[in-house]
Chain A
Amino acid sequence: MTEHESPLGVGIVGVGGIALSHMAALRAMTSAQLVAVCDVDAARATEVAHLQRCTGYGSLEELLADDEVEAVIVCTPNMTHEQLGVQVLRAGKHLLMEKPLALTSDGARTVAAEATARDLALAVGHSHRFSDQSLAIRELIDAGDIGTPRFVRIVMNGGWIWPGWQAWMLNPELSGGHSLHNGVHLVDLASWWMGEPATSVFSVGQHATSEALEIHDYLVMELGFASGGSAVCEISRGERPRSTGYLELTVVGTDGIAARTWDAEGVLAWTDAGLTAWSVTGSADRTFVRELEAFVAAARREADVVPPLSAAIHAVDIAVASEESLRAGRTIEIGAPA
Chain B
Amino acid sequence: MTVPLTTQPGFTRALAAVRGAEIGLLRAVALDLVAVGEGDALRELGPEAIELIRSATGPVSVELQAHATADGATTFLGRASHGIAVSAHLSLVAGEPREYLRATIRLVGTHGSVLVDLLRPLLDVRTAAGARQVRFGPPGTQIPAADAADTLSAIAESARSGRAKSTTW
Which residue numbers of A lie inside 8 Å of B, CB to CB? 147, 150-151, 153, 155, 157, 200, 202-204, 206, 208, 218, 220, 222, 224-225, 227-232, 234, 239-241, 244, 246, 250, 252-257, 259, 262, 329-331, 333
Contact = CB atoms under 8 A, between A and B. Distances in A.
A-B interface, 9 closest residue pairs, ranked by CB to CB distance from nearest: A222-B77, A228-B69, A230-B67, A230-B75, A202-B65, A204-B85, A232-B87, A204-B79, A224-B67
A254 B93 contact: yes
A125 to B, nearest CB: 27
20 contacts: A150-B69, A150-B73, A150-B91, A157-B113, A202-B77, A203-B77, A204-B79, A204-B85, A246-B113, A250-B32, A252-B73, A252-B91, A254-B71, A256-B93, A256-B101, A257-B34, A257-B93, A257-B101, A331-B162, A333-B162
Interface in B39-81: 63, 65, 67-71, 73, 75-79
Contact of B28 (A218, A252, A330): A218
Contacts of A246: 113
B30 interface: yes
Q: Is the interface of A mostly helix, strand, loop or mixed?
A: strand
Given A151-B73, A218-B27, A330 B164 contact: yes
Given A202-B77, A256-B101, A331 B70 contact: no
A232 B89 CA distance: 9
A201 to B, nearest CB: 9
B83 A206 contact: yes
Given A224-B162, A232-B87, 17 more contacts: A151-B73, A151-B75, A151-B91, A153-B30, A153-B89, A157-B108, A204-B77, A206-B28, A218-B27, A222-B65, A230-B75, A232-B89, A234-B28, A244-B113, A256-B93, A262-B115, A329-B63
A153 B91 contact: no
Q: Is the interface of B mostly helix, strand, loop or mixed?
A: strand
Interface residues of B, number: 39
Contacts of A225: 67
B9 to A, nearest CB: 19
Contacts of A239: 108, 113
A222 B111 contact: no
A202 B101 CA distance: 27
B15 to A, nearest CB: 20
B24 interface: yes
Contacts of A262: 115
Contacts of B4: none
Contacts of B111: 240
B141 interface: no
B30 A234 contact: yes
Contact of B27 (A200, A208, A253, A333): A208
Which one of A202, A255, A333 has the greatest number of beta carbons of chain B within 10 Å? Answer: A202
A335 B51 CA distance: 37
B163 interface: yes
A222 to B, nearest CB: 4
A204 B80 CA distance: 10
A323 B121 CA distance: 40
A206 B83 CA distance: 8
Nearest to B88: A232
A71 to B, nearest CB: 40
A252 B67 contact: no
B94 to A, nearest CB: 8
Contacts of A240: 24, 109-112
Nearest to B89: A151
A153 B51 CA distance: 21
Interface string B94-130: 1000000110001011111101000000000000000
B129 to A, nearest CB: 22
Contacts of A234: 28, 30, 87
A250 B115 CA distance: 15
A257 B102 CA distance: 8
A208 B110 CA distance: 7
A227 to B, nearest CB: 7
Contacts of B109: 240
